[in-house]
Amino acid sequence: MTVPMLSLVVPMLNEAEMVPILKERLTEVMGEIGETYEIICVNDGSRDGTADLLDAAHEADGRIKVLHLSRNFGKEIALTAGIDHAQGAAVIAIDADLQDPPELISEFVRLWRAGHEVVYGQRNERRTDTALKRMTANAFYRVMGRLARVDIPAGAGDFRLMDRKVVDALGQLRERNRFMKGLFSWVGYRQIAVPYRRPRRAAGRTKFSYWGLWNFALDGITSQSTVPLRVAGYLGFVVAVISVIYASFLVIRTLVYGSDVPGYASTIVAVLFLGGVQLIVLGVIGEYLARIFEETKQRPLYLVQASRGFDAAVSASTPKTRT
């Protein structure tokens, strides 16, 4: 089997409506670019007809390869699985719903040829997202920018082209908590942004709820930054200082005015306040502890139930970096 120049990686969860549209658009765009390519569709435990449609697509066109994960592992892991199995000299991650316009790929490839090792799409506006989603996304990028040591460019998503060097570097990061945007910027290399307008989903529905996004944001922050732990420490320090001041005030008042038995309110307030602060701090520590627990289990990131179009050697469930 010859190694293709470009590998497209498409994570898919219940995207049956998109398979035919996507197949047509991607084949068209890739045809225009004129490089050899493979399209790796990662079926992330879909429960609709996605699996069968993908198998049929592979039968019709061998350049479309399929990885069926054993269950739903989430987009970040699906993307990882696809990238692990990609053989191209450059790998392009793209959503299945055409919110990442395939037309941009030729520009990505041009910039890659010009020497950039990472070319990422940057959404310069999100008019097609709801106001609430825009607001929460902005807040998230701001908090992330402050807390994380690596800069995550605002508006950058997973839509990007990566040189083989970058893909191999990424392949060495096997942490379970895979906040891909964080990992992408952690590896560094010469990166360049291509601004674009994010269109509406071509068909189907978004797979992320607000609760899901909130948890995703927590994962993102705790995987990239230990600042919350430090904040917890400062919080404890501030509370301790306040307690000392208040205690001195009580002692002096008792010395000057003698002891007064009533003091129920202040006692209860102090107890509740300290109790609350302790629980918050414990919660923060717990978040990190949970992540350490996840990592120490050393489970494979994903399991491949079946694959179409890969050599046997390549389709092991967690390949290490290939050189």
What is the Cα–Cα distance from 23 to 36, expressed in whole angstroms? 16
Size of the site for ligand UDP (CB under 6 A): 17
50 binds ligand UDP (CB under 6 A): no
Using CB under 6 A, pick the residue from 13, 40, 67, 144 that binds ligand UDP. Answer: 13
Residues numbered 85 to 144 that lie near Mg ion (CB under 5 A) are 97, 99
Q: How far is the CB of 38 from Mg ion (least distance, A)?
A: 23
The candidate with the shortest Cα–Cα distance to 299, out of 87, 77, 43, is: 77
The candidate with the shortest Cα–Cα distance to 65, out of 8, 26, 3, is: 8
Interacting span for ligand UDP (CB under 6 A) from 71-79, 234-242, 258-266, 292-300: 71-79
Helices (H), ranges, 34-116: 50-60, 75-85, 104-113
- The conformational region for residue 75 under phi > 0 = left, psi -120 to 50 = alpha, else beta, is alpha
What one-character-per-residue DSSP string does 88-107 give?
A: SSEEEE--TTS-S-TTHHHH
- The Cβ of residue 173 has, within 10 Å, a number of other Cβ atoms equal to 14
Q: How far is the CB of 125 from ligand UDP (least distance, A)?
A: 15
Q: How far is the CB of 217 from ligand UDP (least distance, A)?
A: 13
Q: How far is the CB of 58 from Mg ion (least distance, A)?
A: 23
Residues numbered 77 to 136 that lie near ligand UDP (CB under 6 A) are 78, 95-97, 99
Q: How far is the CB of 96 from ligand UDP (least distance, A)?
A: 3
The candidate with the shortest Cα–Cα distance to 167, out of 275, 68, 86, is: 86
In the complex with ligand UDP, the residue whose CB is nearer, 141 or 284, is 141
Question: Binding residues for ligand UDP, per CB under 6 A?
Answer: 11-13, 15, 44, 72, 74-75, 78, 95-97, 99, 201, 206-208
